[in-house]
Structure 1
Amino acid sequence: MAIRADSVGSHLRRLAVALLACAPLLANAQGYAPRPQDRVSEAQNPAPVAASASTPLTNLPGRERRSLNGKWQALVDGYADGIGEWKAVWKDRTATGKTQFFEYGFDDSVTLDVPGDFNTQRPELNWLEGSVWYRKTFEYDAAAARRKGRRLFVHFGAANYRADVFLNGEKLGSHEGGFTPFQFELTGRVKPGENRLLVHVNNERRKDGIPAKGFDWFNYGGLTRDVDLVETPGTYIQDYSLQLAPDSLRRVDGWVQLAGTAPRQTVRVRIPELGVEVRAEAGADGRAPLRFEAPFALWSPTQPKLYRVEVSTPEESLQEDIGFRSIAVRGDALLLNGEPLFLRGVNFHEEIDGRRAHSEADAQRLLEQAKQLGANFVRLAHYPHNEHLLRLADRMGLLLWQEIPVYQGIDFAAAGMQAKLDAMLAEMIGRDRNRAAVIVWGIANETSPGPARNAALSALAQQARRLDPSRLISAAFYGPGFDGGTLTVSDPLVAALDVVGINEYFGWYTPWPVEPEQAVWKPFGKPLLITEFGAEARYGHHGADDVASAWNEEFQAEFYRKQLRMLARIPFLRGAAPWVMMDFRSPVRMHPFQSGYNRKGLLSERRERKLAWQVIHDYYAEVGR
């Protein structure tokens, strides 16, 4: 692959950021309004359609690629002045004459690490909610690629929240959404010698964004995940689905999607360990349906078996490790590979050491903490996490709930909102549909019932089933109602879901309606997960176990003991996930004991174990026998 990423010169001086002297002003910096037509990808049509080069490639680790990670030159543009014609940072101009002057310059700017959030790399950017421009140069032998019929893409793992991408002063497109992948084709646009890739990233929170302005975590901005140049043949394998059919433990009902100028090709899928080799012909739309059976050793948390799978055409061959397992509901029972399943869970954010987690090592540390707790299940809060973590969960045997950031305060009636919801869901499923670890697609967290919300999320649940019929659909609701001595779940969205999640904080945000031993939950015919429950305590602070305002570990531990006594009385409970594994940054947490952190962690932000850790650990050891 004829690509070389150039290093940035060492003689760079510190960027003057006078506009950052007042952090609170930048937290409210106004940028620009994204336009619906600027989105990179629209919702995928569940019916086979002609593939689009803008749809992100699946299985990036299995492809021919060159990383653009490392040092990128950067300019701070807190008010997004450079996106227009006046400052026009995207033109990347350099003064060449005595009378030329431009109010920016990458050649002597600071650098930022990619992947990584910009907020924690420089102290003056800590509270920035605005724009940062990134620049990276690379060389590419376009003539050789053209002779071989090769295509070139730039692929972004994620950029929070909106990204505008330019190559050599030409805009390639824009993407909205901070946690899902996107790409642009560079074929025919690269030039001999040096090419300049510019990315404008704006993390301003928006009323019509997903999430909107009301969320309880730190809004890390920037190029937070890997950036790669990817080469493909003229017609390439864009995506594939290779998972067990919902009604079988042996049969795969799958497909391979090709994109390019000659989509009518023979597709071959091999699993050498099982002696599987099947072929199918792709039609004019590039879709090749597949069906085959094999004596799979089924993937599970206790035996996370993965098979090396090869997907190929006459022009391309991809390999990756895939597990095969079944997840289903029967009445209010939850079944993994046909056997009853109880989810010993925990929630965590994509954060470690007070920054956005971004590497495989970061993911390993987070998942190992969950395993040490005794968990077999993690709810990834409240957005799609890094692909590194998903692939590690496959290998480590941890079940996952993954959700898009449809959080409190979403304006479901806003123009274009349904298209954004559909696009984020499609990008999440497209990246991770072959991960055995993922058993639940989450479509919302703590949203309030109403006509616009009910219609939007019901449509989203249907879209999720069309895109992936092999997994369960769920959402997490506010804590149960209390009617005549009975705890009830009455949200109208329940009818659209396979599994129901309840975020319940009796004894913290709301008083106990009855004593734990007297709690009676009304059945609703579906499995119940307690997706959040918790109370805050600062590590090392001790005192009485019955005073919430003391922020002490004893109260938090007793809180969990009472919760567990209630959970034992729910016959249709199929899992629980404390909120949260580790204290995480949240600028809306203003109490002196919080100091800008949500302190509901079983661990401190430095991974120190609070008393409540042992309470949950012992509970999971008991129910896991």
Structure 2
Amino acid sequence: MNPSINNYTTMNTLMRKIGAIVCFLILSVPAFAQEALIQNTYNRESLSLNGDWSYIIDPYENGYYDYRREPFDNYFNPANPGSGAYFANVKPAHKTDRVEYDFTNADKIKVPGSWSVEKEQMHWYEGTVWYEKDFLFEPKAGHKSILYFGAVNYEAHVYVNGIKVGHHIGGFTPFNFEVTKHLKKGNNFVVVKVDNTRKKDAVPTINTDWWNHGGITREVKILQVPELYVADYTVQLSKEQANVIEGTVALSEQKAGELVTLNIPELKIKKTLTTDAEGKASFAIKAKKLTKWHVDKPYLYDVQWAAGQDVVNDRVGFRTIEVSGSDILLNGEKVYLRGICMHEENPIEGRRNYSLEDARMMFQWAKELNTNFVRLAHYPHNEHMPRLADELGILLWEEIPVYWTIDWTNTQTLANAKGQLSEMVQRDKNRASVIIWSMANETPVSEERNQFLKALVTTTRELDNSRLISAAMEVHGEEDGTKMISDPFGEYVDIMSFNQYHGWYGGDIKDFPNLKWAVKYNKPVIVSEWGAGAKYGYRADDQTIWSEDYQAYFYEQTLAGIENIPNLAGFTPWILADFRSPRRPLANIQDMWNRKGLISDGGFKKQAFFVLKKYYDKKEAGTNL
């Protein structure tokens, strides 16, 4: 044995242990727990970190693990950062210094964005990419600084000025970290290890039918809030008491006796609440001459919270949503859901939607169809969507990506799903447009799956019992020529929803108008998916698959028989616009796009768009179909 190698290895191990001890003594950092999501970052002043970021592709994760495959996090010493950990952002101090990465001269990438779209050489890349941003910062005395991410797909490790501040899993929900002690006046930097690797125990799992856009896909910003601030609140219309506005508020400190003021000027409501020992307070206030939010009149009120130096403003609509037998009731009146499904992807540019302009484009198309309901599939979309839906009067279905077959018996997978569910509900619980929380999509029936989804239902009702719960289930066979909707999970939801593709995935579409259906549960029914693919501009006869003519015929036949489904309260055809998917390789037709959209990847309307619009126009008018 070479003694010099043995001595080096021993010394290296010793230095790692010493470094870990020093790091612990300096930082006293415990295992990272997800910090509570601050409510309504949308309307708070902030420092935007959007724009150009430096990036380094790291398929071997050299910047995270040392050559013994031990994470640098385990023993990193900020006083002696070395040259291996990319998050340290080390610069050579002398011409003999060896540093094998360099953010300063690295290529740039846009945030928000997706590397598969922005960088041709990374089109199919799945793995780790390091993002780095330099910025100037001016701390406010007596304020805390919170670093907020709208979404990072899929796993994020976040470092500020070389110090790890947190870790997040889930590609479609927001998260934040309090970074006050890590920022300084003047020059600062943030580094994010982004990893979009698909995993069996992840949510979603390895197998999906959409593009795995990697990157910091939504906005990044720094909020500065007073030491004591309004961390969370819920404001809604009571289902039990007419015209009573109720809810809760929570401050950032668990302290009794703090005063919080709720102000809704138009309703002449101004009430001061006193927090309990947990820093929380609840309220129920009778409102006079309340205008309820409705799809026909999406009325919003200015709502303001004030606690100490903190003031936060919101726009809130007040409405109730419930079920009665086979009906869905909006403000106590039956509503039929003229819907469409929608992915969070810009079909013209093939990238993730992230801007308000993107949201306006998608909803404008939905409005042209004469819809009043949109299923946001298959994950929480960006916050512009529910905010704009509030203004436009569009009802929403939001869901988490518990999709197809995931690891049902894995407790960490369940915790992951609950985490994403909680972040979705926390962000959007004050949006009047959101009426349905969905637990899953097309999951195979098993006892393990049933228990998993039941746990999600329990969590959802604990977080928010004012909305309806559903899941996109499936048709489970036929009996005597009757299609059966009998998923046992139907017992635990408010609305029976199922996907069906008769005429596309089996069956003959000409038979659809005469199909018989049986639904096990006496609950409102939504057909959450149905549709057929078509290449825009491909014209043939109505029996030629992939043609616009076939898709239009498919829609005509489905619409001719869909009202035969018992308890039907609405439906959401699949899908508004074509979207990218590696599952769709058919050359010259799909070309890695799912072609079931009513609008093409270039933004052009297919023939089926007008078929559905005609049906919805008649449905709204109440004429015979």
TM-score by length of 1: 0.89
1:555 matched to 2:550: yes
Q: Is the 8 A contact 2:323 2:329 kept in 1?
A: yes
Mapping for residues 382-461 of structure 1, pairs under 5 Å: 382-461=378-457
- Give the corresponding residue for 1:222: 215
- Give the corresponding residue for 1:208: 201
Please list the CA deviations of residues 101-151 of structure 1 after superposition, one character each: whole Å capped at 9, or x if unmatched. 122100101111111112111111111111111111223344xx3xx3211
Counterpart amino acid of 1:485? G
SS in 1 for 2:616: helix
Q: Is the 8 A contact 1:235 1:263 kept in 2?
A: no
1:350 matched to 2:328: no
Please list the CA deviations of residues 205-245 of structure 1 after superposition, one character each: whole Å capped at 9, or x if unmatched. 11111100110000111111110100111111111100112
- Give the corresponding residue for 1:81: 62
1:597 matched to 2:590: no
Mapping for residues 117-196 of structure 1, pairs under 5 Å: 117-142=114-139, 145=140, 148-196=141-189
Q: 1:257 offset after TM fit, Å?
A: 1.0
Q: 1:482 offset after TM fit, Å?
A: 1.4
Inter-CA distance 341–483: structure 2 relative to 1 (3 Å threshold): same
- Give the corresponding residue for 1:474: 470
SS in 2 for 1:317: strand
Q: 1:514 offset after TM fit, Å?
A: 9.1
Q: Distance in 2 between matches of 1:435 and 1:494?
A: 26
Please list the CA deviations of residues 157-215 of structure 1 after superposition, one character each: whole Å capped at 9, or x if unmatched. 00000000001111111100000000111112213431111111111111111100110
- Give the corresponding residue for 1:14: none
Mapping for residues 164-313 of structure 1, pairs under 5 Å: 164-260=157-253, 262=255, 264-294=257-287, 295-313=289-307
CA RMSD of aligned residues (A): 1.6
Which of 479, 494, 498 is 2:494 aligned to? 498
1:57 matched to 2:42: no
SS in 2 for 1:416: helix
Q: 1:273 offset after TM fit, Å?
A: 0.5
Inter-CA distance 272–102: structure 2 relative to 1 (3 Å threshold): same
Which of 116, 121, 125 is 2:113 aligned to? 116
Counterpart amino acid of 1:67? S
- Give the corresponding residue for 1:489: 485
1:373 matched to 2:369: yes
Q: Is the 8 A contact 2:503 2:509 kept in 1?
A: no
SS in 2 for 1:555: helix
TM-score by length of 2: 0.89
Q: Is the 8 A contact 1:38 1:173 kept in 2?
A: no
Q: Distance in 1 between matches of 2:566 and 2:124?
A: 46
Q: Is the 8 A contact 1:38 1:175 kept in 2?
A: no
Q: Is the 8 A contact 2:408 2:414 kept in 1?
A: yes
Please list the CA deviations of residues 485-523 of structure 1 after superposition, one character each: whole Å capped at 9, or x if unmatched. 222211111011001111100000021499333322224
Which of 332, 336, 342 is 2:326 aligned to? 332
Question: How many pairs align?
Answer: 571
Structure 1, unaligned runs of 5 or more: 1-36, 42-53
Q: Distance in 2 between matches of 1:220 and 1:190?
A: 30
Q: Is the 8 A contact 1:482 1:513 kept in 2?
A: no
Q: Distance in 1 between matches of 2:369 and 2:410?
A: 41
- Give the corresponding residue for 2:13: none
Please list the CA deviations of residues 536-563 of structure 1 after superposition, one character each: whole Å capped at 9, or x if unmatched. 1101111121243xx1111111111111
Q: Distance in 2 between matches of 1:261 and 1:251?
A: 27
Q: Is the 8 A contact 1:422 1:460 kept in 2?
A: yes
Q: Distance in 2 between matches of 1:547 and 1:479?
A: 26
SS in 1 for 2:424: helix
SS in 2 for 1:243: strand
Inter-CA distance 458–438: structure 2 relative to 1 (3 Å threshold): same
Q: Is the 8 A contact 1:249 1:337 kept in 2?
A: no
Q: Is the 8 A contact 2:376 2:398 kept in 1?
A: yes
- Give the corresponding residue for 2:70: none
1:567 matched to 2:548: no
Q: 1:607 offset after TM fit, Å?
A: 1.5
Q: 1:76 offset after TM fit, Å?
A: 1.2
Q: Distance in 1 between matches of 2:91 and 2:488?
A: 58
Q: Distance in 1 between matches of 2:341 and 2:513?
A: 26
Q: Is the 8 A contact 1:479 1:505 kept in 2?
A: no
Q: Is the 8 A contact 1:582 1:604 kept in 2?
A: yes
Q: 1:582 offset after TM fit, Å?
A: 0.6
Q: Is the 8 A contact 1:342 1:574 kept in 2?
A: yes
Q: 1:38 offset after TM fit, Å?
A: 6.7
Q: Distance in 2 between matches of 1:505 and 1:223?
A: 34
Q: Distance in 2 between matches of 1:491 and 1:79?
A: 44
- Give the corresponding residue for 1:578: 573
Please list the CA deviations of residues 255-298 of structure 1 after superposition, one character each: whole Å capped at 9, or x if unmatched. 00111264641111111001111222111111111111213211
Q: Distance in 2 between matches of 1:39 and 1:209?
A: 19
Extract structure 1 runs of 4+ deviating beyond 3 A.
37-40, 261-264
Deviation larger for 570-579 or 342-351: 570-579
Larger-gyration structure (1/2)? 2
SS in 2 for 1:82: coil
Counterpart amino acid of 1:601? G
Q: Is the 8 A contact 1:249 1:325 kept in 2?
A: no
Q: Distance in 2 between matches of 1:301 and 1:509?
A: 34
Q: Distance in 2 between matches of 1:454 and 1:79?
A: 38
Q: Distance in 1 between matches of 2:93 and 2:184?
A: 21
- Give the corresponding residue for 1:51: none
SS in 2 for 1:81: coil
SS in 2 for 1:364: helix
Q: Is the 8 A contact 2:254 2:278 kept in 1?
A: no
1:535 matched to 2:532: yes
Q: Distance in 2 between matches of 1:196 and 1:322?
A: 36
- Give the corresponding residue for 1:4: none
Seq. identity, %: 40
Inter-CA distance 262–151: structure 2 relative to 1 (3 Å threshold): farther
Counterpart amino acid of 1:57? I
Q: Is the 8 A contact 1:71 1:113 kept in 2?
A: yes
Q: Distance in 2 between matches of 1:513 and 1:619?
A: 18
SS in 1 for 2:181: coil
SS in 2 for 1:164: strand
Q: Distance in 1 between matches of 2:296 and 2:500?
A: 29
- Give the corresponding residue for 2:98: 101
